[in-house]
Amino acid sequence: MQIDVRGQSTYLYTGGKKLTPLTVDREKTIIFIHGAQQDHSCWTLQTRWFAHHGFTVLAPDLPGHGRSAGEPLQSVEALAEWIAALLDALGVEQARLVGHSMGSLVAVEFAATYPQRTVQAALIGTSLPMPVAPVLLDAARDNEPKAATMINGWSYSASGQIGGNTVPGLWLLGMNQRLMARQKPGVFHADLAACNAYGRSLESLSAITAPVLLIAGSQDKMTSPKVAKAVQAAIPGAQMSLVPGSGHALMAERPDAVLDALIAFLAR
């Protein structure tokens, strides 16, 4: 579905269920927010389940990503404001948020800035702060294929590096490489720079009043479970679900485990 957000065309994946701005369930809306150099397609399993079990699913391609027009936004704060504008465009006052990596920071910022609009928030592969190695930032600016290779090397567990896809015949690293390659030039660096610059403190997370679930991969080299636990401790009442054997790309490596955790949290 294409809608207009702030005067620009935005693509929303709706979980394979036909949806129009007039048929959005404003009481049971879930927004899935993808990570850096990604788009809506990273959420295929999770979005389809919720769309066919009583929820309105909105998985946008963020500005400048995938099928959405415009330029990539330059900060996590700007992305959270854009999510609010997306909700306004659909007449949705409150929503559940699910974000991965950069998207988890957007969900954190939204939940802290708009507590009255946040029903629940699930943070997948998160840390605060979320520093990006200078060598990766430079590669994202100057040599995107090199940056993609680096991300692939760090995003998957040891078993994921040699296979391990739950769908026989599909290659985790090759699929992610193709997904990253189809994003527009400049998106990679803008996304990673936004993560690197995000300055919200752990102490400020006490302002989040909505129920929060963190989902962490036990072998995540990019946002380690240890750092995720610090985020959990800073958010009142936050829960943690640890996914054994998964790296940072949890939705690809352990899609069923991620879905099960989200169902237990969002559909209870």
| Start-to-end Cα distance in the chain | 28
* pLDDT digits 0-9 by tens, 112-157: 999 999 999 999 999 999 999 999 999 999 999 999 999 988 898 8
Confidence of residue 169 (pLDDT cuts 50, 70, 90): low
Lookup: tokens for 210 = 């909505």
* pTM reported for the whole predicted model: 0.96
Number of neighbours of residue 126 by Cβ within 10 angstroms: 26
Lowest mean pLDDT among 17-21, 193-197, 209-213: 17-21
Provide CB contacts within 8 A for 143, sequence distance 6+.
none
95-100/212-217 β-pairing? unpaired
Q: How far apart are CA 125 and CA 216, in angstroms?
A: 5
Delineate the domains of the chain, giving CATH numbers in brackets.
2-266 (3.40.50.1820)
Residue 97: enclosing H or E segment and its boundaries?
A: strand 95-100
* pLDDT digits 0-9 by tens, 62-118: 999 999 999 999 999 999 999 999 999 999 999 999 999 999 999 999 999 999 999
**3 state SS of 217:** strand
Comparing C-alpha atoms, which of 75, 85, 73, 72 is closest to residue 114? Answer: 85
* Phi, psi at 121, each rounded to 5°: -145, 130
75 touches 194 (CB < 8 A): yes
Mean pLDDT of the chain: 94
* pLDDT digits 0-9 by tens, 218-235: 999 999 999 999 999 999
225 touches 216 (CB < 8 A): yes
Whether the pLDDT of residue 217 is over 90: the answer is: yes
Whether the pLDDT of residue 162 is over 80: the answer is: no
Q: Sort residue 46 into left (φ over 0), alpha (ψ -120 to 50) or beta.
A: alpha
